[in-house]
Amino acid sequence: MVKQSPVTRERRRHRGSDRVTIQDVASEAGVAPITVSRALNTPERVSPKLRERINQAVANLGYVPNLVAGGLASAEMRMIPVVVPSLSILTFIEVIHGIQQTFEQAGYQVLLGSTDFDLDREASLVDSVLGYSPSGVILTGLRHHDRTARRLRGWGRPVVEIMELGDECIDMNVGVDSHAVGACMAQHLLTRGFQRIAYLGTGMDRDYRAMQRFEGHRRVLETAGVECDLLFRREEPSSYEAGRRLFLEALATRPDLEALHFANDNLAAGALLEANRRGIRVPEEIAIGGYLGLSLGEHLTPRLSTVTVPRYEMGVEAARLLLSRLEGGKPSASRVDIGYELTAREST
Amino acid sequence: MVKQSPVTRERRRHRGSDRVTIQDVASEAGVAPITVSRALNTPERVSPKLRERINQAVANLGYVPNLVAGGLASAEMRMIPVVVPSLSILTFIEVIHGIQQTFEQAGYQVLLGSTDFDLDREASLVDSVLGYSPSGVILTGLRHHDRTARRLRGWGRPVVEIMELGDECIDMNVGVDSHAVGACMAQHLLTRGFQRIAYLGTGMDRDYRAMQRFEGHRRVLETAGVECDLLFRREEPSSYEAGRRLFLEALATRPDLEALHFANDNLAAGALLEANRRGIRVPEEIAIGGYLGLSLGEHLTPRLSTVTVPRYEMGVEAARLLLSRLEGGKPSASRVDIGYELTAREST
DNA sequence: AAGCGAAATGGTAGCGCTACCATAAAACCC
DNA sequence: GGGTTTTATGGTAGCGCTACCATTTCGCTT
């Protein structure tokens, strides 16, 4: 028997739905598919007359491009995976917000991944996410699995590492100097005349940036010749409750403490609110400093002193950097120090 | 001249990089590409011997599947767009967190979209996002552009609408009854003996669910025969600062108010903290109630009374519902009331 | 030993789009 | 006016994978 001609089912699409394709639009407008493709992706390369006719056909048929097919052909999906350690930490949320807003305007989609501070999970996440042929990638921090770094370096598309700042980045880097940030608050506390200063943090076994901030803090105190190893830590997620517990723990262990430097504003706020509740006067009996610049801080009584980091802006800047590489050629810089600011208020 | 044979450049790939393809793995393992595909996607349909050999080849070559190609062939990318009104509202973040965690475990990627409460933007977002051939979609609320609803209804893949609860959903629905939630706090305030009760909210021109909560509140007061139209609103994003301003505005306008029902805990906290600062006693001079159940509430003094909604769980439930349709056939239910709980504390 | 159904494997043909190159048409240039 | 460039459109051939169906292999029954 002769092999059955495929022509017999010519009209029925092989698989897939009855979606309108670029071919349908091309027929409707009386042009070649490639011209439709150009009219949609690079309109300036199609004559106004045809462009108009094609747009009309698109509207008539309700054509929506199949981005997957386009992505396969051009080896680029217009999307950007953003890999962060956690989605329950407000900091990352705000950065993601900035990233998302910026990319959305430019027509890129943001893909979300979280690693729970685990570099192995980051590695497998990056692997699988590269399978989507994204236009670029945004990662958190400068420390990665060897394989991850190698793979991304050889990938040939823009990569931005955020949060941390350092010389050895894969491609581009936007962040703050963790050591400096920790040192900043420590210095501030010294300047205000406090001597017995403790650092209090959570999750420092996993979040090495928190550790770097402590390191900055420690060095300043060491240089100043005061007790520098006062560290209270809990291995649990950061929360108001954790801040409260650290506060009570520190008070019970070392009643002579003069100032508490918390790893972030959530913890500091938890402590400050507990002080309020117990009638402990801040900063007269004990001073409290934080890090981040959460808006909550300025509504507390006393207003919380903190080191403010522009988190939303960091996201925007990371996205801009990536976009400029995607659209233009080389970007202005490949390393941006987003900076920080000491916000000295009433709690110190 | 004879047309040049393409064979001359046989070995050089037409376009694209030097990525390892399924063909390379197949050669290495001495099987057909389709068998590699099966070994990776449906391992149980490949003999243990071959499976082993293929896995070995995959590891040797460092093969990472091109999900775009797979997506085109199977008309399904393993990803789920989540469309929310805003990424600066904590509620949505927590829901997204639940969604993301659940999908990540199941090997689906979450794509993020925000509409700024604009149904037109939602419509175009949904359009473009469908171009990715996602496995399903999660939308916020039950109100959409006609076109959006029509398109999704005819789409044939699972759709979950979250936050709101109602009869007329596109496909599946997970949320809370906004009216009931608003009524709950109003009833609670009445029960505590307050009579002159105001509702205070932000962004109520755009966020119709906030309006529904007010409506629930209003009806309860109306039924009780007390003044029910006391509404203070500001058209700005929700924040501690907005809560503070609403609080001061209400006090200035109606010094006789006995209780304030805030549209969410952020506003309520802003108000409560301002009361702290001014030495206004809560609830003796004025009571304050919120909505959401943010953890901050229980650390304030007095502890904030609120109506708690399990936001993270709502995300998890939405994702589970969608997954059960994706994996199994029909899910247990197509409509889940995630419920709420009155958390009566000290501020009322 | 022959027969049979189930399980394992492979061949073929796209999925819908765009890169690449060829061609045609228009614009420009002494 | 012939040639060169520039601009606009089209033809062809995949991108790398999986759906579909054909074929082979294997275990088991009679």
pLDDT tens figures, A168-218: 999 999 999 999 999 999 999 999 999 999 999 999 998 899 999 999 999
Arithmetic mean of pLDDT, A65-93: 95
| DSSP H or E segment with residue B83 | strand B79-84
The answer to whether the beta carbons of residues B102 and B324 sit under 8 Å apart is: no
Alpha-carbon torsion, ordered A315, A321, A322, A325, to 10 deg: 170
Q: Is the pLDDT of residue B14 over 60?
A: no
Q: What is the pLDDT of residues B256-288, one digit of tens each?
A: 999 999 999 999 999 999 999 999 999 999 999
Question: Comparing C-alpha atoms, which of A204, A214, A222 is closest to residue A180?
Answer: A214
Strand order in the sheet with A197-202: A231-234, A197-202, A259-262, A287-289
User: β-strands A137-140, A159-164: how paired?
Assistant: parallel
Residue type for position A196:
R
Distance from CA of B90 to the nearest CA of A (A): 9
Q: Which CATH number is associated with domain B178-308?
A: 3.40.50.2300
Structure tokens at A294: 């959460």
Nearest to B87 among A97, A274, A300 (CB): A97
CATH of A6-65, one of 1.10.260.40, 1.10.540.10, 3.30.470.10, 1.10.357.10: 1.10.260.40
Question: Residue B19 has what pLDDT?
Answer: 83
B23 contact to strand D (CB, 7 A limit) = yes
Q: Measured between alpha carbons, how far is A148 from A174 in angstroms, rounded to an integer?
A: 19
Q: Residues 6 or more apart from B293 whose CB is under 8 A from it?
A: B265, B306, B307, B308, B309, B341, B343
Give nearest nucleotide to A72 (CA–C1').
D15
- What is the topology classification, in CATH, of domain B76-177+312-338? Rossmann fold (3.40.50)
- Contact between B156 and A67 using a beta-carbon 8 Å cutoff: no
Q: Establish whether domains A6-65 and A78-176+312-339 are of one fold.
A: no
Beta pairing partners, A13: none
What Cα–Cα distance (Å) separates residue B319 from each residue in A129, A311, B96, B104, B337?
20, 29, 10, 10, 14
Alpha-carbon torsion, ordered A99, A101, A105, A111, to 10 deg: 60
- What is the topology classification, in CATH, of domain A78-176+312-339? Rossmann fold (3.40.50)
* Whole-number distance in Å between B170 CA and D16 C1': 35
Question: Residue A300 has what pLDDT?
Answer: 97
- Contact between B68 and A132 using a beta-carbon 8 Å cutoff: yes
- Contact between A131 and B65 using a beta-carbon 8 Å cutoff: yes
Q: What is the pLDDT of residues B123-172, one digit of tens each?
A: 999 999 999 999 999 999 999 999 999 999 999 899 999 999 999 999 99
Question: What predicted TM-score, i.e. pTM, was given to this entire model?
Answer: 0.92
Residues of chain B contacting A87 with CB distance shorter than 8 Å? 93, 96-97, 100-101
Nearest to A72 among B64, B69, B96 (CB): B69
Q: Measured between alpha carbons, how far is B281 from B251 in angstroms, rounded to an integer?
A: 13
User: At B32, is the secondary structure helix, strand, or coil?
Assistant: coil
Average pLDDT across chain B, whole number: 92
Domain parsing of chain B, residue ranges: 6-65, 76-177+312-338, 178-308
Q: Residues 6 or more apart from B65 whose CB is under 8 A from it?
A: A131, B22, B40
Report the share of chain B in percent with pLDDT over 70. 94
Residues of chain B contacting A130 with CB distance shorter than 8 Å? 64
Q: Is the pLDDT of residue A3 over 70?
A: no
Q: Is the link from the previous residue into A81 a cis peptide, with omega within 30 of 0?
A: no
Q: What is the pLDDT of residues A99-135, one digit of tens each?
A: 999 999 999 999 999 999 999 999 999 999 999 999 9
CA neighbours within 13 Å on the CB side: how many for B91? 23
Question: Residue A273 has what pLDDT?
Answer: 98
Q: What single DSSP character describes residue A69?
A: H
Q: Is the pLDDT of residue B16 over 60?
A: no
Please give the sequence-ordered ranges of beta strands (E in DSSP) within A28-158, or none if there are none.
Answer: 79-84, 109-114, 137-140
